[in-house]
Amino acid sequence: MKTSSVVKISLSIVLMLGFGLNANAQFFKKLAKKAEKAAERTVERRVEKETSEKTDQALDSILEPGSGGKQAPNTNGGGTDSGNSSGNSSGGGSEGSSGSNKGAASSSEKTIAVYSKFDYVPGDKLMFFDDFGNDFVGDFPSKWNTNAGGEIVTLGDSPQKWLSIKSGFNIYYIPDVPKLPEEYTIEFDIAGVGIDRKTSSNSKLAIYLSENDKFDQGRNYAYAEIPFCQYSPIGITIQNNIAGKREIRSTVAADIRDEVLNSPHISIAVNNQRFRLWVNEVKYVDVPRLIAPGSVINTVKFHANGFKDGKEQVFITNLKVAEGGVDLRRKLISEGKISTNGILFDSGSDNIQPQSMGIIRQISQVLKQESSMKLKIVGHTDADGSEESNMKLSKNRAEAVKNALVSVYGIDSGRLTSEGKGESDPVGDNNTPDGKAQNRRVEFIKQ
């Protein structure tokens, strides 16, 4: 029964009684309000029940390996499809970053102005990248290890591939990242399916930085936990162990409930012992001595816990680890040239992904300090697509960076020129995801 019908019937009964009992009119007026509220609560419970049933039906269509290639319907966060192997390639623009699949919300919906104060700067020497472009849907990715299993899926209608991560005690997912240096950055996208107000406060995805590549924490480690709970803002928990002894454990206030429903981009910067973490454009964690000193930390691990089996699932994609991430400003001033693959664009497009604004912000700071400096901005693509389309795309991307410097940071356009080189000057192998990610870059050259 619809809410309006229930309310009308309730009000009619009360009014009829009210006409017969004028002396108790005030009493029945209150009763009418209670009846209306009761009716609304009844309908709300019914709607919630039906919504839950629809969500369960959508989740039932998430395939296990070998289940025949059916595609789940779109849900909040997207349904999954493990029945095709479509990759992500379009005109030199298959980006290793957020924006390739955003479920209910796309990164393009946020203007770059929102990120104008975003101060994350990715490392400039790529160590590892995986968007699972060379893996088949339904398989476990070739450049990862685990003690639990998992598979590559697609979510909704997007061709972007995701790794489905199983939840459980002492289950780890370990990418084949080379030994970590003392300064590096980590970026990835996460998504959740089946997340609702009943999702546990223990439902979290932890990112470990550990001393070994074993399926345990080790004596030296640090981690941050991204919460998926919806009924309360749980916050982001961080913890470390140094030489087997815990020195830091705290929970930073963070209400990221909306973000985790819409495939957020996670950015982490490690500079010696300092650990910083951003969710989309917001920095939530900045701890000066979280990481064990020296070079004992060398492995990235992912661990999920608290998710209901068969109902709630967590996914990861576009993992990028790069050495550096310190300060591009000094390098540009001292060397007169920098090259970065940290400025990212929507696939096949010149739309700047807003989390790239940290680099552009640093460039603007140099230009404001060095008032006589002029820069040439050069765009490069990978080799996907035709040479002609890639040349045009690279020119448009360089121009987009120029326009951001002018419109967002107020740099005089007369001090900037732009140029595109397409796929003509590769620095990596265009047959591998790593190489493609290296080739999609922007150069800034002092004139």
What pLDDT is recorded for position 60? 41
In this prediction, residues 328-341 reach a mean pLDDT of 88
What pLDDT is recorded for position 98? 38
Indicate the range of 2-16, 156-170, 220-234, 362-376 predicted with least confidence: 2-16
Enter the tokens of residue 378. Answer: 């050069």
Q: Is the pLDDT of residue 129 over 60?
A: yes
Residue 100 within any structural domain of the chain? yes
One-letter amino acid at 31 equals L
Which CATH number do you get for residue 277? Answer: 2.60.120.200
What pLDDT is recorded for position 41? 47
Indicate the range of 48-52, 374-378, 434-438 predicted with least confidence: 48-52
| CA 268/CA 275 separation, integer angstroms | 7
User: Same domain, yes or no, for 134 and 165?
Assistant: yes
**Locate tokens 């190489």: which residue?**
435
The pLDDT tens digits of the residues spanning 257-279 come to: 999 999 999 999 999 999 999 99
What pLDDT is recorded for position 106? 42
Full residue range of the structural domain in which residue 126 is found: 80-323
Indicate the pLDDT class of residue 142, thresholds 50, 70 and 90.
very high
What pLDDT is recorded for position 81? 52
Strand partners, 279: 266, 282
What pLDDT is recorded for position 116? 74
Query: Higher pLDDT residue, 352 or 81?
Result: 352
Phi-psi region of 204 (alpha: psi -120 to 50; beta: other; left: phi over 0): beta
User: Same domain, yes or no, for 102 and 209?
Assistant: yes
User: Same domain, yes or no, for 295 and 343?
Assistant: no
Domain count, the chain: 3
User: Same domain, yes or no, for 187 and 165?
Assistant: yes
Q: Is the pLDDT of residue 20 over 70?
A: no
The pLDDT tens digits of the residues spanning 420-429 come to: 999 999 999 9
Is-above-0.95 flag for pTM? no
Enter the tokens of residue 91. Answer: 């005109």
Q: Is the pLDDT of residue 7 over 80?
A: no
In this prediction, residues 338-356 reach a mean pLDDT of 87
Residue 144 within any structural domain of the chain? yes
Indicate the range of 56-70, 119-133, 179-193 predicted with least confidence: 56-70
User: Same domain, yes or no, for 352 and 428?
Assistant: yes
**Closest alpha carbon to 75 in 151, 152, 156, 159:** 156
Q: Pick from 288, 323, 358: which residue ends a domain?
A: 323
User: Same domain, yes or no, for 43 and 18?
Assistant: yes
Q: Is the pLDDT of residue 46 over 50?
A: no
User: Same domain, yes or no, for 241 and 316?
Assistant: yes
In our burial notation (b when 16+ CB lie closer than 10 A, e otherwise), range 9-41 reads ebbeebeeebeeeeeeeeebeebbeebbeebee
Residue 70 within any structural domain of the chain? no
Q: Is the pLDDT of residue 32 over 80?
A: no
The pLDDT tens digits of the residues spanning 399-419 come to: 999 999 999 999 999 999 999
H or E, element range at 157: none
The pLDDT tens digits of the residues spanning 54-63 come to: 444 444 433 3
Residue 71 within any structural domain of the chain? no
User: Same domain, yes or no, for 275 and 170?
Assistant: yes
Per cent of the chain over pLDDT 70 is 74
